[in-house]
Amino acid sequence: MIAAQRETAATSGGSGNLAALGAADWLSLAAAPTFAVMALLTGVSGGADMICSAAADASPLTGMVPMYLLMSAFHLASWLKLISSRRGGARRS
């Protein structure tokens, strides 16, 4: 879909649109590793979760680390599209 948008932007003479799509692609690729690093740093430093973890009925799914990990997982789609497009291009050659 992204390639189709680029072709449309390129054929319509919208180099600004093409640049914006390129920036959006890079931004979407940056999201997953950024959230993964945030989860790692929050897990190592403890953060505010340690204050609330003393509750006896606290779920292991509450807190910032699980939230960052879920956000990282949800943003993996861009990476999976990039990998599949490169693998598909290698097979066609």
Chain-centroid distance of CA 56 in Å reads 33
Note the pLDDT tens digit of each residue in 75-84.
999 889 888 8
Q: How far apart are CA 52 and CA 62, in angstroms?
A: 10
Q: If you average pLDDT over every residue of the chain, what do you get?
A: 74
Note the pLDDT tens digit of each residue in 47-61.
655 555 555 556 666
Burial of 82 (0-12, 13-18, 19+ CB in 10 A): middle
For residues 59-72, average pLDDT: 84
The pLDDT, as a whole number, for residue 76 is 92
Count CA within 13 A, CB hemisphere, residue 23. Answer: 6
The DSSP 8-state label assigned to residue 14 in this structure reads: -
